[in-house]
Structure 1
Amino acid sequence: MKHERVTEEAIAALIETFYGKVRQDALIGPVFNEAIGDWPHHLEKLQAFWSSVMLGTGRYKGRPMPAHVKHGARISRASFDRWLAIWRATTAELFAEGPAAVFAEKADRIAESLLMGIMFHSDRAALLRAEQAAAAPARWSPDEAA
């Protein structure tokens, strides 16, 4: 039976089911499995995050952007698209149409924000490396003059 309402218990079931699928996925599973050492703790944080997003509980106190930026080299648009596809399928499996649509809408916005943050930070890092290279003192040796 699908959940008609979003509750703490329904969020816990969603997170458990969804990340079980993510961990098995060929594209994004390896990224998550290498990045996360303590899955029970991580799942608790994710439950708090979605509780805050969907129920306004304020239980989540973290900063998701730095965690995603740190792994930005391994995260692509395709990674986000796969995550969202699994998310939509899982929310549709567990929730009635209304709540599933709200979960999907929120996830779409969050994913876009995280992807833009990753791209901004990677572009900024590339720019800083280029600036440092340009500012590096030129090296010359007498042998080059000959």
Structure 2
Amino acid sequence: MLSRFDITAEQIDRVVAVFYAAIRRHEVLGPVFGGHVRDWPSHEAKIASFWKKAILYQPGYDGNPMQVHMAAGDVRPEHFAIWLALFDETLRRTLTPEPAAQWSALAHRIGRGLRLGVEDLARPASSIPSLR
């Protein structure tokens, strides 16, 4: 099976490593991630596995990102815009333009879904959801 776009497993590993180095230094996201991640190498390997499955269709990842983000308790909808901006910056610095743009589009679709899940969790049961 062909990948979604032209990228290697090694490039995915590199993007994930560069991104999480930036996350650990980030003034807003660093403390959120730091409160949940105890073993950074294992976390990075798991996230790289997620992206390899999503992009390269490699087996291995079997987690539930929506469940994890909703259960965290301190992940806020506004964190996703920051996360995506930092991820886009990492993609631009690490990859050539075409795969960076393609991966960014995929990340934004996934991020939008996760943000909506977190927003829904915080919304009172009687309110009407926003689909924006």
What is the identity percentage for the equivalent residue pairs of Structure 1 and Structure 2?
Answer: 31
Runs of 4+ in 1 over 6 A off after TM superposition: none
CA distance in 1 between counterparts of 2:35 and 2:103 reads 26
2:85 paired residue number: 85
Deviation of 1:70 (Å): 1.2
1:61 paired residue number: 62
1:12 paired residue number: 13
Q: Under a length normalisation based on structure 2, what TM-score does the superposition of the two structures give?
A: 0.85
Cα RMSD (Å):
1.7
1:96 paired residue number: 96
CA distance in 2 between counterparts of 1:101 and 1:86 reads 14
**1:127 counterpart SS class:** coil
Question: Superposed, which structure 2 residues align to 1:1-146 within 5 Å?
Answer: 5-72=6-73, 74-123=74-123, 126-127=124-125
Greater Rg by CA: 1
Deviation of 1:40 (Å): 1.3
**Gaps (5+ residues) in structure 2?**
1-5, 127-132
CA distance in 2 between counterparts of 1:59 and 1:52 reads 7
Compare 51-60 and 101-110 and name the one that shifted more: 51-60
CA distance in 2 between counterparts of 1:77 and 1:102 reads 23
**1:49 counterpart SS class:** helix
CA distance in 1 between counterparts of 2:79 and 2:92 reads 20
**2:35 counterpart SS class:** helix
Q: Under a length normalisation based on structure 1, what TM-score does the superposition of the two structures give?
A: 0.78
**Gaps (5+ residues) in structure 1?**
129-146
The letter for the 2-side match of 1:127 is A
